[in-house]
Amino acid sequence: MKSFLSVDTATISHKEYDAIVVGSGAAGLFCATKLSSLGLKVCVLTKDAADVGSTKLAQGGIAAALSKEDSPDLHFNDTLKAGAGLVKTKMARILTEEGVKRVIDLIRMGANFETNEKGLLKFTKEAAHSVARIVYYKDKTGEEVERALLDSYRGDIIEFAEVKELIVKNNRCYGVIYEKDGKINAIYAPVTAIATGGAAGIYLKNTNPPTSTGDGIAIALRYGAKLQDLEFVQFHPTAFCDDSECFLISEAVRGEGAIIVDEQGRRFMGDYHHLWELAPRDVVTRAIECQKKICGGNVYLDFRPIEKKGIDIFKRFPTITSKLFEKGLNPKKDLIPITPVAHYYIGGIAVDSFGRSSIEGLFAVGEASCTGVHGANRLASNSLLECLVFGERTAYGMYRDWRYLRQDFSPIGIKLNQKSVLSNNKFSLKEVQEIMWKNVGIVRSAESLTKAIDKLSEIANSNSDWQVRNGAVLGLAITISAMRREESRGGHYRSDFPYEREEFRKHSTFTLSDLERLI
């Protein structure tokens, strides 16, 4: 079931580059910029316009030990605590120690962050951080980061290019096949990086752009790449949702003093964790869901304590407050109804500390990868930092491997035979999203997961659009991984196994062979 296409790559137009980066978010652009500076001819492929993606939507900021009260050791310890026993310590050391330099690099590239009257960086605090260490730009840090990276990148970019297949032979990647304007094209290169973002978009309620549906991860799985920790999905506790959309209300809002109250106006988070609203995200998420059942009705975010501290919420959070005004809500006066939604994908393509996957010549970086740095539950604002730190390291890994992979490299013609399907039915991505939200969401059980496996198997074996089938394939992998982990840890909660179990204090892996019975 490797290919969803039937095409002979020898008969279609193709180009050759030194390196391919699939994705134009922070991870992909930081990696591509570094590769270009090393003298490689680089091509970035992106599913939409270059500035469309999760990076641009990031509100909170970037965690880095840049303040005088902070240190990489302190940041490292906070990362370990948030990760619920599964953080890879080597990766966390790399993240927190190299992160300081990478944020400074970003500033050198022209990114702006908030400063005080003396010109010193301002820092804010988010959940599970012991000190204020997050640099930010208003409430649209990601947009500013994306702007700076696009301004700095000097290589080629092909926009609105949907990467549909890898070109792999004998466990070695030779490039990608993509569709643009209805035409199939191939790009060959000795090294390729997948930086396509996460997979929260395969959940019905999510904060991600429409592009974040896990395609890059699913494609890598179909060609034999090893995946890791697929069961861990981080649900953000504070989003505003109506019939038309869900949008994030950054954790930085709580970091500045906003509180969470129930239908009776009672501040309840102290019943669940001593850090109240700044408890780890998985704790806040489940607390909100539990309180809804206990009290009935909605749960709300109250911005008014921020105003009492003398902070103008309209200046501090212009994007969020203007969005709420569009919905008829005034955060200076109104309680804002909130709900947890799928937000960040912790699992992904298993990589080493230089971004190498289990397929030679294929790398992964950013949310599409799984470095193990987040463990079972990501520490707030470590995601953009991971993009920078491992974006740079992946570029060096690609450069090192390119130097010898190019020696015997040449374009190859490969016949991609479409897998025969068991069903001529056609399904929509929304149907995948509904299955994942209902059965593989915040609270899971063997019963719900079994239902998801049955339904997703049918979709994966159908005649549906390639993106729908990719979503079903990855959804199946997530569901099977969740079924195998018979415990609750971090972003993975099983109602039939509600506690952590020491025998599961280990990373899970997933390969194509794990799907053979179902697809």
Specify burial of residue 360 (Cβ count, 10 A radius: 0-12, 13-18, 19+). Answer: middle
Active site residue 102: no
For residue 85, how many C-alpha atoms fall within 13 Å in the half-sphere facing its CB?
12
Q: Catalytic one among 222, 281, 378, 494?
A: 281
User: What are residue 409's phi and psi, to 5 degrees?
Assistant: -95, 135
Query: Is beta strand 246-248 parallel, antiparallel or unpaired with respect to 348-350?
Result: unpaired
Integer Cα distance of 151 and 33 in angstroms = 10
Q: Which of 237, 233, 227 is nearest to 203 (CA)?
A: 233
In 311-422, which residue ranges form alpha helices assigned H by DSSP?
313-316, 318-326, 382-405
Integer Cα distance of 193 and 30 in angstroms = 12
Contact 34, 396 (CB under 8 A): yes
Q: Which of 179, 181, 219 is nearest to 199 (CA)?
A: 219
Residue type, 56: K
Residues 6 or more apart whose CB falls under 8 angstroms from that of 104 comprise none
Question: Long-range contacts: 492-500, Cβ < 8 Å, 24+?
Answer: 492/231, 492/232, 492/233, 492/376, 492/444, 493/282, 493/286, 493/442, 493/443, 493/444, 494/443, 494/444, 494/445, 494/446, 495/443, 495/444, 495/445, 496/445, 496/446, 496/447, 500/84, 500/85
Residues assigned a catalytic role = 281
